[in-house]
Structure 1
Amino acid sequence: MYYGVKGVKNMILLERIKELGDIHGIDFIGVAGISQVENEIKEIGGELVSDFPRALSIGIVLPNSIVNLLNDRDTYENVLQYKTHAYDVINNRLDNFASIVSSVIQRNGYKVMPLPAAERIDSDRVCASLSHKLTARLAGFGWIGKNCLLINPNYGPRIRWTSVLTDAPFEENKEILESKCGNCD
């Protein structure tokens, strides 16, 4: 489905993506301007990211009951529940939704590159082509804490993220949240 006038088209397109997010159980969708950190992300992701000035940041809140099981990591069943439901299943949902969003954006004439939610390009540095936590921060969803996780004001670190790179001229988030981390004990 294509939308009419260009300025309105982009606003309607982003609203349509957010509606799809509601249908698919996505809790966060925002636009991050990544050209401001292009040099840093090119260092890790290479030329793959250079054609894309923006990223859609997409997040799903993890079930509290599953995350709370990690208080007892010695119980195999608890670890298995977490790995299955808070990692594998959520990452698959994020990857599937990123693919759907990419098709919608591409059908409207823009370039896209969905990035896998959990794949690494460098195992030594444990990093992907682009940090999903960075795009979430630039989209205004939180700050990077002292544990290097994205901390959201409402859900803490209990959100899993993915990103879709695009050249679609969506309006970028302008408000980056300041860190509310205190001193570590």
Structure 2
Amino acid sequence: MSLSGELRKLLLKHGADRVGFADISDVTIIEGYNSGIIFYITYPKDIIRRMTNAPTMEYVMELVEMNSKLDNLGMLCEKFLIKKGYNAYAQTKKRLGHDFGENNSFELPHKTVATKAGLGWIGKSALLTTYDHGSALRLSSVLTDAPLDYGTPILESKCGSCIICKEACLGGAISGKEWNYKIYRDEFFNDKKCEEYALRVSEKNLGKADTVCGKCLVACPYTKNFINNID
């Protein structure tokens, strides 16, 4: 079995729902670490179905739990690669903390690795969107110098004329413009408006201000298809 095959099997066995590999040589933040491993976990369908008035407390609690699971998967992947003789760095929540920078984004976002691996595209909501799971997922990534079998990058949005997430966003953060790999997030999405509204709605729904909302995630037709598909 190839190294990529071993990694995919390992991560899926321990709870990942999807795994991909990307050539990140043009965006890497660590010299020589030109491969990216991306993996995600999907939200339980029932939690998303019940988010008729997002956000909900169970959604926030699940979000925290998923972040912990993703961190564990990242460290598992990192240790596996190091044992194989490669260098690796897991971009865990614990390591990156809340240092998003001025634009509320990490230096090398997981979403960028995901599009380069061909797992999905950036929706008009600025969330990773996939055919199978919509945006009902959370991501993490590992950077490495290991040679891997890269996926085919997705270079443009598959959202088309759909503006359902824009209509669902009561903070006015979503412009409706489609993403492609050549444009920056702030050209189609206003993260400050998103944050401001999230603080207000979380205060109302949860009793404390937090940067969580989820309205666009729930509204996405691809998410709807996922949660309405009976297992």
Q: TM-score, normalised by structure 2?
A: 0.64
Cα displacement (A) at 1:123 = 4.4
Counterpart for residue 41 of structure 1: none
Cα displacement (A) at 1:121 = 2.4
Counterpart for residue 74 of structure 2: 98
Where do 1:1-185 residues align within 5 Å?
Answer: 12-38=2-28, 48-73=29-54, 79-85=56-62, 87-117=63-93, 119-176=97-154, 178-183=156-161, 184=163
Q: State the distance in 1 between where 2:157 and 2:84 align.
A: 36
Question: What do the CA deviations read for 1:21-75 (whole angstroms, capped 9, x no partner)?
Answer: 222121111111111334xxxxxxxxx53331111001111112112332223xx
Cα displacement (A) at 1:157 = 0.7
Question: What do the CA deviations read for 1:66-122 (whole angstroms, capped 9, x no partner)?
Answer: 12332223xxxx72211111x111111110011011101001111100002473323
1:116 partner letter: T
Cα displacement (A) at 1:17 = 1.8
2:58 partner letter: Q
Q: Secondary structure at the match of 1:81?
A: helix
> Does the aligned pair in 2 maintain the 1:31–1:173 contact within 8 Å?
yes
Q: State the distance in 2 between where 1:120 and 1:51 align.
A: 26
1:137 partner letter: T
1:154 partner letter: D
> Does the aligned pair in 1 maintain the 2:12–2:19 contact within 8 Å?
no
Cα displacement (A) at 1:175 = 4.2
Aligned-residue CA RMSD in angstroms? 2.0
Q: Secondary structure at the match of 1:181?
A: coil
> Does the aligned pair in 1 maintain the 2:16–2:41 contact within 8 Å?
yes
Q: CA 1:107–1:174 in structure 2 vs 1: closer, same or farther (change >3 Å)?
A: same
User: Which runs of 5 or more structure 2 residues have no equivalent in the other structure?
Assistant: 168-231
1:128 partner letter: F
Q: TM-score, normalised by structure 1?
A: 0.79
> Does the aligned pair in 1 maintain the 2:118–2:153 contact within 8 Å?
yes
> Does the aligned pair in 1 maintain the 2:110–2:139 contact within 8 Å?
yes
Q: Secondary structure at the match of 1:18?
A: helix
Q: State the distance in 1 between where 2:32 and 2:65 align.
A: 30
> Does the aligned pair in 2 maintain the 1:120–1:129 contact within 8 Å?
no
Question: What do the CA deviations read for 1:130-184 (whole angstroms, capped 9, x no partner)?
Answer: 2111111111111111111111011111111000000001121134264211223
Query: Higher RCO, 1 or 2 (CA under 8 Å, sep at least 6)?
Result: 1
User: Which runs of 5 or more structure 1 residues have no equivalent in the other structure?
Assistant: 1-10, 39-47
> Does the aligned pair in 2 maintain the 1:112–1:165 contact within 8 Å?
yes
Counterpart for residue 182 of structure 2: none
